[in-house]
Copies of this chain bind each other. A is one copy, B any other.
């Protein structure tokens, strides 16, 4: 008889491309999302939490052609053979929810949603297969007031989480204007039009001169490779270049330049009119160009959206991984997409929405030093006498009743050094110590761990003696003394 094989121990690892979030990583994000939710809510947007799991059919785009629809999503088959998948964004589920519940929902339907989404992609440094999104969308209205509202709400969100005015700008462009520009070029071949769009997408990288070369004969790459051009004549390329460089001194000048760039195109004129309506609403509501700006050089997302397109950029500088200064960059994008619900119902339903990049915005707040307060751990009441646990719990209860985060040490109390090491690992600001002698005298020792750590690092013997980091106070003054210490930091 074969010996039964011993099952090897399982490996304790997160799956590839996933990670865990600890302590202030969780609470910092959650506070930021709460602040954003309060703004969304104040604007009349209603919360929606759809299930993390959707049918592949409802998600669309990922229909099973081979064995399993694993292109970009995590998918599996239910017992009845239905393909299910984890949502890859919050917009596709919104389309499904709106189509399913449209008779019960108000029209227009303003909704916000925040939560994790999953992508079945190759993980890389800083690229995870589960991350948060935070969206607001208005479904069921073509009014430019909806688009303008979302841009202004986005500005309010950025300020609510702690990005000061002047450190961000929301740039607005319009896909219809671009379509008008394409009409004006006279390009009619769809393949060539697609080439023009792809070239415009490179504007951020190669600038206007680069785009001009790429629209014409081609361009010698920085790497030395020659990139073939789209083959437009200079006359044909002119409207595209005019479009990309039409930003004027104010919205009026920009809009006049755009009108020229679209020529006689009716679609283009419609796009310019939409931008003008939005600009008027921004101005009337007091959102100046330093906060929301009509800027045709914003090309990201132009391919995806059908009308207005916008992007929030943080304009302050940070140091990149090579120590060079650069602008922080984009933290949010959105726009109008009018065919959202059509694939379910056959009816076109106009919609506009915005998505805030949660992790990028959190990184920005860290860079601005807005996230530090949360890193402090609890006050630790140490255990000098195992039999007096009830007394120590009474001390932490008193601290908590005073609104202070506090806990009693629950490990083996034998080695006092371990208790202080534990407090250190918890980033505790203060430790409370009470042996039987102190208890008999009705006092506690309060150890200022922050000052203690500083002294240990830098102090001379004299300073060490002059600035004690431990105080004996009557139990009745424990809360007052600790508050005093915490107020220092």
**Residues on A facing B (Cβ under 8 Å):** 9-16, 18-27, 30, 34, 37, 41-44, 46-55, 57-58, 60, 68, 70, 74-76, 78-80, 82, 84, 86, 95-97, 99-101, 106-108, 110, 116, 118, 129-130, 138, 140-141, 143, 145-146, 148-149, 280-281, 284-285, 343-346, 377-378, 380, 389-391, 393-394, 397, 400, 405-408, 410-411, 422, 425-426
Closest B residue by C-beta to A390: B284
Given contacts A20-B101, A42-B400, 10 further A-B contacts (CB under 8 A): A9-B343, A12-B97, A14-B50, A23-B48, A25-B49, A51-B130, A76-B76, A141-B410, A145-B389, A284-B390
Grouping DSSP codes into helix (H, G, I), strand (E, B) and loop, the A interface class, with mixed when no group exceeds half, is mixed
Q: Which 6 A-B pairs have the closest CB atoms?
A: A44-B407, A284-B390, A12-B99, A26-B47, A18-B51, A44-B378
Contact B12 A58 (CB under 8 A): yes
What is the CB-to-nearest-CB distance from A63 to chain B, in angstroms, rounded to a whole number?
8
A141 and B106 alpha carbons, distance in the complex (Å): 53
Contact A53 B390 (CB under 8 A): no
**Residues of chain B with a CB closer than 8 A to A20's CB:** 48-51, 97, 100-101
What is the CB-to-nearest-CB distance from A100 to chain B, in angstroms, rounded to a whole number?
4
What is the CB-to-nearest-CB distance from A259 to chain B, in angstroms, rounded to a whole number?
21
Closest B residue by C-beta to A391: B284
**Residues of chain B with a CB closer than 8 A to A101's CB:** 20
Contact A13 B55 (CB under 8 A): yes
Contact of A51 (CB < 8 Å), options: B12, B15, B68, B146: B15
A256 and B86 alpha carbons, distance in the complex (Å): 54
**Residues of chain B with a CB closer than 8 A to A49's CB:** 20-21, 25-26
Closest B residue by C-beta to A401: B42
Contact A44 B411 (CB under 8 A): no
Contact B74 A42 (CB under 8 A): no
Of A42, A101, A129, A377, the most chain B CB neighbours within 10 A belong to A42
Known contacts A10-B344, A47-B26, A344-B10, A422 near B106 by CB under 8 Å: yes
What is the CB-to-nearest-CB distance from A133 to chain B, in angstroms, rounded to a whole number?
14
What is the CB-to-nearest-CB distance from A238 to chain B, in angstroms, rounded to a whole number?
35
A410 and B462 alpha carbons, distance in the complex (Å): 71
